[in-house]
Amino acid sequence: MKPLILSGRANPGLARSIADALGVALGRCDIEIFPDNEYIVEIHDDAQGRDLYLIQPTQPPVADNLMELMLLADAGRRAGAGRITAVIPYYGYARQDRREAGQKPLSARLVADILCTRMDRLVTVHLHNPAIEGFFPIPVHRLAAFDLMAAALADAVPADTGVIVAPDLGAVKMAHGYADILNMPVVVIHKVRESGKSVSVRRIIGDVKDRSPILVDDMISTGGTIAKATEALLEAGCRPEITVAATHGLMVGDCLEKFARLPIRRTIISDSIGRETAPQGVQVVGLGKRIAETISRLNRTAE
């Protein structure tokens, strides 16, 4: 039986490219908002007995997108769908993956618990911390994207003058993934986060003098990490031609303005985050085919 692919409102463009790559039509559903801000959701295709794939990154507005996803799953469950898979290319709250001191929640775990009330599987892309998989008692399929991004950067900087830069310790493993493909050395920045909006750089581990840096990260949110890293790299004598590659381009607030003030020549993100038009001057790599391959494999296993 053909799977039913449905999209929430967060990223219909990516959902369409997944459905196209699978050679199926995107399922039909309605999502309306009542005047009091409640959602009302209805699936129009027959879901009975069909595996259901719900495409919805939990990007801003995070709580609304999560709720939409859960309502679609509930509708599918009550309609007798087979296995329900949440396809969350960008997993919101992933950065709150440990409980810091004080009376704080473990938010990434809470999101996992909420998802598990209706989902049978999760497909996600470049999870901020792979250990989040351990929050789920259901199968989690974590897809990589760095190889697609690196391939798109093949002609960005010559290998003998380029350097891959991890803007914090969490990005080191990914930086090595890029470095292997692009055949460049890796440099690591010791970043300290002071608050949700502000970070500072302690030191740069490695040599960037007269090299053209490619800064790689899992996500760009406010752009603070990349901006501070860029300033530190320039101070350390790199060439004033920076390339930035990040899987999840949230790019909130004045991120683009921050980038425009710096010698950032090229920024590349994936289409994990839905938006009407790509941010100006930013190159976007499609994830549709990669996600479709996984759905297709999961569905074959089901037959």
Annotated catalytic sites, by residue?
Answer: 191
Near ligand R5P by CB under 6 A: residue from 3, 57, 224, 274? 224
Residue type, 70: M
Q: Is 90 helix (H, G, I), strand (E, B) or coil?
A: coil
In the complex, the smallest distance separating the C-beta of residue 293 from ligand R5P, rounded to whole angstroms, is 26
Q: Which long-range contacts (CB under 8 A, 24 or more apart) does 110-117 make?
A: 111/58, 111/66, 112/136, 114/66, 114/70, 115/69, 115/70, 115/86, 115/88, 117/70
Binding residues for ligand R5P restricted to 157-176, rule: CB under 6 A: 167-168, 170
Binding residues for ligand R5P restricted to 91-130, rule: CB under 6 A: 95
Q: How far apart are CA 241 and CA 220, in angstroms?
A: 19
Q: Residue length, the chain?
A: 303
Does the footprint of ligand R5P cover residue 279 (CB under 6 A)? no
**CB of 25 or CB of 169, closer to ligand R5P:** 169
Does the footprint of ligand R5P cover residue 219 (CB under 6 A)? yes
Compute the chain's Rg from CA coordinates: 20
Near ligand R5P by CB under 6 A: residue from 51, 68, 97, 218? 218
Binding residues for ligand R5P restricted to 31-60, rule: CB under 6 A: none
Measuring CA to CA, which residue among 148, 124, 143 is closest to residue 135? 124
Does the footprint of ligand R5P cover residue 190 (CB under 6 A)? no
Near ligand R5P by CB under 6 A: residue from 17, 222, 243, 270? 222
**CB of 196 or CB of 263, closer to ligand R5P:** 196
Does the footprint of ligand R5P cover residue 7 (CB under 6 A)? no
Q: How far apart are CA 236 and CA 215, in angstroms?
A: 14
Q: Which residues here bind ligand R5P, judged by CB under 6 A?
A: 95, 167-168, 170, 199, 217-225
